[in-house]
Structure 1
């Protein structure tokens, strides 16, 4: 698969040397005279391969290394070590042919030029990417037809995709949007991928984005890749428990439920327990025998909870 990879990362690593500074006048004076440094490991040995046309989710908490990895793959920063190839190019060479094949959409960054009308920005992008006038009009029409968003967000995506990139790096593309707009962006990404066979690497804190678009996910934490596999396998790997939802005949105190599992929610006659997978059959039998149960449902835990548990660990280690 590595020979056919549209996006290939091999041991991508990025370290930053950052000056130490303390909050005091004396420390500030020392900072100017005798500066000390620490090493921040933003990404550490990240390796994966994505074939053409696949939509892959990239998950991790703030500061995990997602955006750093995307910036290396788009050539915005050089790695400390490691190699990458995207659409057949080494990203940090920033060759013209490479830039025509990719786009980077960041939910907290505007694609538009703020003091120009949206159509003027699109025409400027068309000139930069050498899109002829007839093709420009056709692409604007096609992309606009695929979108059902507010005008600002529609123009943002038009600007990012006007040159019809074959590799999309999407960093929180639904950030700050309402629920309807989030759904519209997901549908647009799915349709763009279907029509043009684009390869997509998507980061999002909205698990609905990932669940709707990605069969495969990468999980990064503290700069290291923890998981690369099917979304369904993520729960099995990092959540060795199942969720048991209960409707009780009468309210019970939390203490009465503790012998059967971890009590995640308890409200009136409704309860939600987490039960180890290997003891599920035994625990369910005990619950039915010993508690006044009117209804019971066994299901996988919410994806948000699984991801949260993955990231429950100490802060990244910094070296002096």
Structure 2
């Protein structure tokens, strides 16, 4: 009988403080302040999960990722990734993780994109056949064929981001940390990248920890969300649970054949009326079926649609409650 391997990422009471010195009027010496970037942070991620890790600027997201990769050493608590201590076993861990840090590229600025990939193959000692297979697949899916012989410095932000994602995945990491992976991409490219990441997770079981300000990335990719604020977790659960906790509502948009008084059906409330179109709001955790049936049976309906709640508004409400 096999034993439970436990979570791939395990964070317990994690803390990281920084000393910040500032000038105070009337004093010759600077005053030292202790800033708690992360404190009392606990969560775990199982192998194969796709988790959104979100929060406002300065919440502690990047500091957390840097501790998970071994770039920063925690000042309290503990963290394990694949059973390894990131800060003490960075070399071993580097072969098992992939990282894309937003505006900071891992590619060689003056080299053609292809040469950067070839160098990474040597660094990670990727078997040649596996390297060729991975490179061909990623280049096709991320539409990088025309850029392979272009120096990195001449790539657009979106092209470089796709190059960085390819570089982070060539060695088949167990977990990948993505920081703003769709920045600089147009709508079509964003959709293609999201499809690529979903396929990667489904086919290879790659674990994904995604930090982003584009909350459509979270809704498209992640079933679970961890919301961090002031260095600690304020929510950890499903997207549906986040909507419920934030008190969000869904909207039924009804186009009537003719103008009418505000629609009156159980479970929904009219929010706005413009001519024959009416907007009805109802709780996000409620079923739309009985409301749609009630409207259709009592009114002459030309068309209707359902608008899902904006996750950005939900998180804003969550922060305001915490504040």
Match of 1:239 in 2: 247
Instruction: Identify which of 223, 237, 245 aligns with 1:215.
Output: 223
Match of 2:196 in 1: 188
Alignment map for 1:57-76 (pairs within 5 Å): 57-76=52-71
Structure-2 change in CA distance of 1:113 and 1:274 (3 Å): same
In structure 2, how many angstroms separate the alpha carbons of the residues matched to 1:37 and 1:293? 69
Alpha-carbon contact 2:96-2:174 (below 8 Å) kept: yes
Alpha-carbon contact 1:2-1:8 (below 8 Å) kept: no
Question: Aligned pair 1:38/2:33, yes or no?
Answer: yes
Deviation at 1:129, TM superposition (A): 0.9
Match of 2:315 in 1: 307
Match of 2:138 in 1: 143
Deviation at 1:106, TM superposition (A): 1.9
In structure 1, how many angstroms separate the alpha carbons of the residues matched to 2:246 and 2:126? 46
Q: How many matched pairs?
A: 294
In structure 1, how many angstroms separate the alpha carbons of the residues matched to 2:20 and 2:280? 45
Deviations 1:89-113 (A, max 9, x none): 1111143221100011122221211
Alpha-carbon contact 1:244-1:272 (below 8 Å) kept: yes
Structure-2 change in CA distance of 1:278 and 1:102 (3 Å): closer
Partner SS for 2:66? helix
In structure 1, how many angstroms separate the alpha carbons of the residues matched to 2:116 and 2:239? 38
- Higher RCO (CA < 8 A, seq sep 6+): 1
Structure-2 change in CA distance of 1:179 and 1:20 (3 Å): same
Deviation at 1:141, TM superposition (A): 1.6
Alpha-carbon contact 2:244-2:285 (below 8 Å) kept: no
Partner SS for 1:116? coil
Partner SS for 2:133? helix
Deviation at 1:71, TM superposition (A): 0.9
Instruction: Identify which of 8, 20, 23 aligns with 2:22.
Output: 20
Deviations 1:241-291 (A, max 9, x none): 454546686699xxxxxxx9796x77677565666789999xx9xxx9xxx
Instruction: Identify which of 209, 231, 245 aligns with 1:201.
Output: 209
Structure-2 change in CA distance of 1:34 and 1:202 (3 Å): same
Structure number having the greater helix percentage? 1
Partner SS for 2:312? helix
Partner SS for 2:203? helix
Match of 2:153 in 1: none
In structure 2, how many angstroms separate the alpha carbons of the residues matched to 1:107 and 1:267? 42
In structure 2, how many angstroms separate the alpha carbons of the residues matched to 1:71 and 1:157? 17
In structure 1, how many angstroms separate the alpha carbons of the residues matched to 2:281 and 2:219? 22
Match of 1:101 in 2: 96
- Stretches of structure 1 that go unaligned for 5 or more consecutive residues are 253-259, 316-320
In structure 1, how many angstroms separate the alpha carbons of the residues matched to 2:79 and 2:165? 26
Match of 1:256 in 2: none
Alpha-carbon contact 1:107-1:174 (below 8 Å) kept: no
- Stretches of structure 2 that go unaligned for 5 or more consecutive residues are 148-158, 262-267
Provide the TM-score with structure 2 as the length reference: 0.77
In structure 1, how many angstroms separate the alpha carbons of the residues matched to 2:279 and 2:315? 18
